[in-house]
Amino acid sequence: MAELFVTNFNRNFTGVSATAATVIRQQAGRYDLRLVGHPLPGCPDPISLTQARRLSKTVTGRPFAIWHVRRNPEMRAAIWARDVLKLPIRIVFTSAAQRRHSMFPRWLISRMDAVVATSDAAAGFVPHVRATVPHGVDTDLFVPAPDRAAAWAALGYGGSRGVATIGRVRPEKGTDLFVDTMLQLLPDLPDVTALVIGRPTRDHQKFDLTLKDKVQRAGMINRIRFIGELPPDRLPGMMQALSLTVQLPRYEGYGMVPLEGMASGVPFVASDAGHYSEFAAQGRSGVVVPQEMLHTAAEAARAILTDPARHAAMAAAARDIATNSFSARTETDGIDRVYQSLWSQTP
């Protein structure tokens, strides 16, 4: 009889999936937990929604089970289980979006028993916020490389240093802004190779091809490489090998890439979006630049990559900040306080 059910109804491995998996790996040792839906790396084998409903009928040692949801279909399923099937459950929703939700998601969120916001900005757009708990990174999984140069060389992408952007290839993620920034930066840094890590959805195939054509016409096809999506188990090794992450989204709800890099001892340059300014710690671990200011982004990256002492100091600070302020353990502790608050209430 489980006390905690965590849902994952998206078969694709997205940013939401990654943050959920990081927390679940921590929670698995704390609760009688079931993952519901599709598998996640390093997490318990999932059960079906039907099984989750059956197991939620009776809870041993708790007044009710908690269903922790992160997406609209998951909220719908949980509301049906609680309000129609009358199962003894309470629903917790994690909200990262820093913008007003459309009408139907707003209604779904209004039906939650508790909301965990990942930032103060996100908390301003949703009701029932019990706590603001920033996403954390698995600092045991993402660790600095013993030898960054050797780790990069082992990947075989050319050059002696690597810079990357990671995420879906689409305008919202600023993939085009990264490419244009690299076209400004790389001619002055012949030892650096830039990677676009991610894939386009069907709607953005033309966008992807346009970017590749631009790189080809600029004669930089061997310097700016589109390598597609990486399996989750390869991402920590990639992060270790990089010298810098560059994330320039036009919109970002939270943004884990700089944080995963920081845990790996990698500084970052990012646009003013998501939670990036908090990660940067006034420039100790990263530099945040105004939206769509490509020259400013290129200059920030150049300043870090051409100053070995500054790069080393930022790399050390990045690891320290990730470990002490943005760890998965810290996030899990914050979520646990929400669970305990619910369980302490009269059902």
Domains of the chain: 4-136+327-343 (3.40.50.2000), 148-325 (3.40.50.2000)
Task: Specify whether the CB–CB gap between 92 and 113 falls below 8 A.
Answer: yes
What is the DSSP pairing of strand 65-69 with strand 114-117?
unpaired
| CB-based burial label for 229 (10 Å; 0-12, 13-18, 19+) | middle
Cα(93)–Cα(20) distance, rounded to whole angstroms? 11
Are 42 and 28 in contact by the 8 Å Cβ rule? The answer is no
Q: Is residue 44 exposed (0-12), middle (13-18) or buried (19+ Cβ within 10 Å)?
A: middle
- The answer to whether 246 touches 270, Cβ cutoff 8 Å, is yes
- The pLDDT value given to residue 243: 98
Helix intervals (H) in 56-174: 72-79, 103-110, 120-123, 148-155
SS3 197: strand
Q: How much is the pLDDT for 60?
A: 81
Supply the DSSP symbol for 232.
G
| Residue 286 φ/ψ, nearest 5 degrees | -165, 170
Q: Look-up: residue for tokens 């927390």?
A: 23
CB within 8 A of 13, min separation 6: which ones? 40, 41, 232
Give this prediction's pTM: 0.89
What is the per-residue pLDDT for 106? 94
Query: What is the b/e burial string over 266-303, where b = at least 16 CB atoms within 10 angstroms of the residue's CB?
Result: bbbbbbebbbbeebbbeeebbbbbeeebbeebbbbbbe
Task: Give residue 61's pLDDT.
Answer: 87
- Could you give the angle at the alpha carbon of 326 between the alpha carbons of 171 and 155, nearest 5°? 60
Joined tokens for residue 329? 């353990």
The DSSP H or E segment spanning 205 is helix 205-217
pLDDT per residue as tens, the chain (347 positions) = 799 999 999 998 888 999 999 999 999 989 999 999 999 999 999 999 999 999 999 888 899 999 999 999 999 999 999 999 999 999 999 998 888 889 999 999 999 999 999 999 999 999 989 999 999 999 999 999 999 999 999 999 999 999 999 999 999 999 999 999 999 999 999 999 999 999 999 999 999 999 999 999 999 999 999 999 999 999 999 999 999 999 999 999 899 999 999 999 999 999 999 899 999 988 999 999 999 999 999 999 999 999 999 999 999 999 999 999 999 999 999 999 999 999 998 65
Report the Cα–Cα distance between both ends of the chain, in Å, rounded: 18
Q: Report the candidate in 195, 167, 135, 141 with the shortest Cα–Cα distance to residue 271.
A: 167
Dist CA 187 CA 175 (whole Å): 19
Site of tokens 């900040």: 321
Q: What is the pLDDT of residue 34?
A: 97
Q: Whats the size of the chain, residue-wise?
A: 347
> What pairs with residue 165 in β-bridges?
196
- Alpha-carbon distance of 104 to 118, in angstroms, equals 21
